[in-house]
């Protein structure tokens, strides 16, 4: 087991690595560095200015990476910036994934082949509107009291293990080693985090230097007012800000921490994020270009966040601590009003930016992209196959069932996503009608049942934790609790499930049976669909979380991207050909349609599964249309 003494040795080794000098006469041929005297980066001794765009490889299928990267190069960008998502690559301790959408090395190689340099942001915390800010959920399972993003022994142990696995994979791509990676970040907007743990930031610096050495430039990034806790002595500080008529005011603040050196806007916002139940965020294209020109006139290095946003497939969308309940979940789309839309198509904003960049830097020699065709399909009818909480549903879809005197969290059961079903028996002799059910510290949404009949919803988002129930409804209380996404910004320890007491007229309920439905493996769903129950009593027509199934055919014509349009549905989850598209919620909006990449579709028969959480669908059908709908 690692101890503080060993951690100290790790830090010392990292510091030694930082101090190592190349042998005389063996200076590397490639060098990306900082010329402080002339306030610029240099590449092999020559001044260099990067114009970059953020594109997170985990928000698009690998088959579309090249097309998106080529469109970025065609816009006049010379660099792509991406986060590295720890939770994607290590979903469970010591179980690593580097294939498919997690093939980071292929992404870097593809960017290099499209004549783009790369900036890597390994975090380990990335925010990015992702579940738990990119941290794996199991950190909270393994260490319930862990203090993430601090000099916490348990946390640092896991970070060191992760970096020891990650960094050897990317070292060959560092510019000094012949690759395209010119910069690597240390942490992410740490000045926004209340801990302000300088010992932790020094540790992250030493750990990163140990692997990167001088083969790429290291940097931090923060909002203009937050450099005090976010910057690290000896590391390049950079800023994050959006459209402005006076960027000079921000650079004045930066110069207090960086008297000389290149100016960098590491997150220049041409769009913004959107939560459920709020208007779609939009940023004016003319204002984006106007602010861009001001920065380019000052020789600023700019990274657009985002240039391509993509999609929060599956359960990857996060949340923020805003709204009535200090919780608002991010929508499935990460379109972000970016220059390239969710499908990777150029927008008017794209062409406005491209025009400006060509004026400053010349034509990149790559033709401007055209919007790819989209397709509509005939109406697809589905049939109801039962409920998640039926006996058959539990048998096929549940991962485990446990007994506990009081409710426990998702993380205590080592569950990342989906639902927990909490069940107990109501006390006999209730004489108040209606009585009041209250769930304390609900994270995030409970579908309340009595004797398998859906009664209503409690919600963290809308700050609704109590509801009246009639005495005559039954004796078995069932709370199907949904994880809507862990908070991604500033609050990393966002445990899920019922974290407090459940009371009836202020009297706590005990002795719970808890059933786990992570819904993270489609194999369980296939088992459910292929082994139908014959018992009529298992139908549970009045329960929430009803499961629907349908098929649709695609002929020999070319398959294009499309958009699922669940106009008559309430809130739920969609699988197409076993691929988890993500959450839909047209009742709340603003996102109505779900983006369907052509790469998950196939000629011949395709199948669709929808889990509708709360609405009873009398005539279950969906449409596939050729454009997205956002209210």
Q: What is the mean pLDDT of residues 260-279?
A: 98
The whole-angstrom separation of Cα 294 and Cα 357 is: 12
The whole-angstrom separation of Cα 365 and Cα 261 is: 30
pLDDT in tens, 455-484: 999 999 999 999 999 998 999 999 999 999
Phi-psi region at 272: left, alpha or beta (left = phi > 0; alpha = psi -120 to 50):
beta
**Residue 189 annotated to the active site:** yes
- Residue 3 reports pLDDT greater than 90: no
Q: How many other CB atoms sit within 10 Å of the CB of residue 621? A: 15
Task: Write down the mean pLDDT value for the chain.
Answer: 94
Helix axis angle, 4-19 to 198-212, nearest 10°? 50
| C-alpha closest to that of 474 among 543, 559, 386 | 543
The pLDDT of residue 13:
38
**Residue 267 annotated to the active site:** yes
Given a contact cutoff of 8 angstroms between Cβ atoms, the answer to whether 583 and 330 are in contact is no
Determine which one of 90, 114, 187, 267 is catalytic. Answer: 267
> What is each CA distance from 235 to 63, 185, 205, 231, 611, in whole angstroms?
36, 10, 8, 7, 48
Q: Work out the angle at residue 86's Cα, subtended by the Cα atoms of residues 526 and 188, and round it to the nearest 5 degrees.
A: 140
| Tokens 């009593």 found at | 537
The whole-angstrom separation of Cα 553 and Cα 458 is: 39
Got the DSSP string for 476-516?
EEEEEEE----B-SS------EE-S-EEETTEEP--EEEEE
How big is the chain by its Cα radius of gyration, in Å?
26
pLDDT in tens, 534-582: 544 456 789 999 999 999 999 989 999 999 999 999 999 999 999 999 9
User: Omega into 444 within 30° of 0, i.e. cis?
Assistant: yes
Residues in a beta bridge with 401 = 515
Q: How confident is the model at residue 20 (pLDDT cuts 50, 70, 90)?
A: very low
Q: How confident is the model at residue 492 (pLDDT cuts 50, 70, 90)?
A: confident
List, in order, residues 6 or more apart from 24 with CB less than 8 Å away.
none
Q: How confident is the model at residue 490 (pLDDT cuts 50, 70, 90)?
A: confident
The pLDDT of residue 29:
83
In the 3-class helix/strand/coil scheme, how is 445-487 assigned residue by residue?
EEEEEECCEEEEEEECCCCECEEEECHHHCCEEEEEEECCCCE
- Residue 16 reports pLDDT greater than 90: no
| Tokens 């008017």 found at | 348
Given a contact cutoff of 8 angstroms between Cβ atoms, the answer to whether 227 and 260 are in contact is no
C-alpha count within 13 angstroms, C-beta hemisphere, residue 457: 15
| C-alpha closest to that of 111 among 47, 172, 68, 59 | 68
| C-alpha closest to that of 207 among 114, 268, 123 | 123
Given a contact cutoff of 8 angstroms between Cβ atoms, the answer to whether 162 and 124 are in contact is yes
The pLDDT of residue 87:
98
Q: How confident is the model at residue 23 (pLDDT cuts 50, 70, 90)?
A: very low
- Residue 239: its H or E element: strand 236-240
The whole-angstrom separation of Cα 4 and Cα 7 is: 5
pTM for this model (two decimals): 0.94
Determine which one of 114, 189, 342, 612 is catalytic. Answer: 189
The per-residue b/e assignment along 585-618, b for 16 or more CB within 10 angstroms, e otherwise, is bbebbbbbbbbbbbebbeeeebebbbbbbbbebe
Given a contact cutoff of 8 angstroms between Cβ atoms, the answer to whether 295 and 303 are in contact is no
């Amino acid at each position: 087991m690692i101890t503080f003494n060993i951690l100290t040795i790790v830090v010392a080794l990292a510091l030694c690595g930082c101090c190592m000098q190349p042998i005389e006469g063996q200076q590397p041929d490639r060098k990306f560095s900082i010329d402080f005297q002339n306030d610029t980066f240099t590449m092999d001794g020559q001044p260099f200015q990067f114009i970059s765009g953020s594109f997170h490889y985990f928000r698009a299928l690998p088959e579309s990476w090249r097309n998106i990267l080529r469109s970025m190069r065609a816009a006049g960008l010379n660099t792509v910036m991406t986060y590295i998502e720890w939770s994607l690559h290590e979903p469970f301790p010591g179980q690593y994934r580097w294939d498919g959408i997690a093939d980071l090395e292929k992404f870097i190689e593809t960017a290099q082949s499209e004549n783009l340099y790369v900036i890597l942001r390994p975090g380990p915390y990335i925010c990015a509107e992702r579940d738990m800010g990119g941290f794996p959920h199991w950190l909270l399972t393994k260490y319930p009291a862990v203090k993430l993003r601090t000099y916490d022994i348990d946390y640092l142990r896991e970070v060191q293990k992760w970096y020891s696995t990650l960094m050897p994979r990317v070292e060959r791509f560092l510019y000094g080693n012949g690759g395209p990676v010119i910069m690597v970040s240390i942490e992410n907007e740490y000045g926004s985090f209340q801990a302000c743990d300088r010992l932790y930031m020094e540790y992250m610096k030493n750990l990163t230097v140990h692997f990167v050495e001088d083969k790429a430039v290291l940097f931090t990034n923060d909002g203009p007012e937050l450099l005090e806790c976010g910057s690290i002595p000896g590391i390049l500080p950079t800023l994050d800000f959006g459209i402005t008529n006076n960027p000079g005011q921000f650079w004045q603040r930066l110069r207090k921490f960086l008297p000389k050196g290149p100016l960098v806007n590491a997150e220049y916002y041409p769009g913004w994020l959107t939560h459920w139940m709020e208007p779609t965020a939009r940023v004016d294209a003319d204002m984006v270009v106007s602010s861009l020109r001001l920065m380019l006139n000052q020789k600023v290095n700019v990274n657009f966040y985002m240039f391509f946003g993509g999609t929060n497939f599956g359960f990857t969308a996060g949340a923020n601590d805003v709204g009535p309940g200090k919780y608002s979940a991010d929508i499935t789309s990460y379109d972000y009003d970016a220059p390239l839309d969710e499908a990777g198509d150029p927008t008017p904003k794209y062409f406005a930016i491209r025009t400006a960049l060509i004026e400053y830097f010349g034509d990149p020699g790559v033709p401007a992209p055209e919007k790819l065709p989209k397709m509509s399909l005939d109406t697809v009818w589905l049939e109801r196959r039962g409920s998640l909480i039926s006996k058959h549903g539990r048998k096929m879809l549940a991962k485990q069932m446990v007994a506990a005197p009081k409710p426990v969290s998702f993380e205590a059961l080592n569950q990342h996503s989906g639902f927990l079903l909490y069940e107990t028996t109501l006390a006999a002799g209730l004489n108040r009608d209606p009585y009041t059910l209250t769930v304390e510290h609900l994270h995030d949404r409970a579908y309340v049942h009595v004797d398998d009949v859906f009664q209503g919803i409690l919600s963290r988002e809308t700050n609704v934790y109590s509801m009246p129930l009639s005495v005559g409804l039954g004796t078995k209380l069932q709370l199907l609790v949904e994880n809507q996404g862990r908070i991604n910004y500033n609050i990393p320890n966002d445990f899920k499930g019922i974290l407090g007491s459940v009371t009836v007229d202020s009297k706590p309920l005990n002795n719970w049976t808890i059933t786990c439905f992570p819904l993270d493996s489609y194999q369980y769903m296939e088992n459910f669909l292929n082994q139908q129950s014959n018992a009529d009593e298992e139908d549970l027509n009045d329960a929430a979380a009803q499961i629907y199934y349908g098929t649709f055919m695609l002929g020999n014509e070319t398959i294009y991207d499309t958009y699922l349009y669940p106009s008559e549905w309430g809130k739920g989850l969609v699988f197409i050909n076993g691929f988890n598209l993500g959450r839909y919620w047209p009742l709340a909006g603003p996102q109505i349609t779900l983006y369907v990449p052509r790469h998950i579709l196939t000629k011949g028969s395709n199948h669709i599964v929808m889990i509708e959480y709360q609405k009873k669908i009398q005539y279950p059908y969906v449409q596939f249309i050729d454009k997205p709908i956002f209210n």
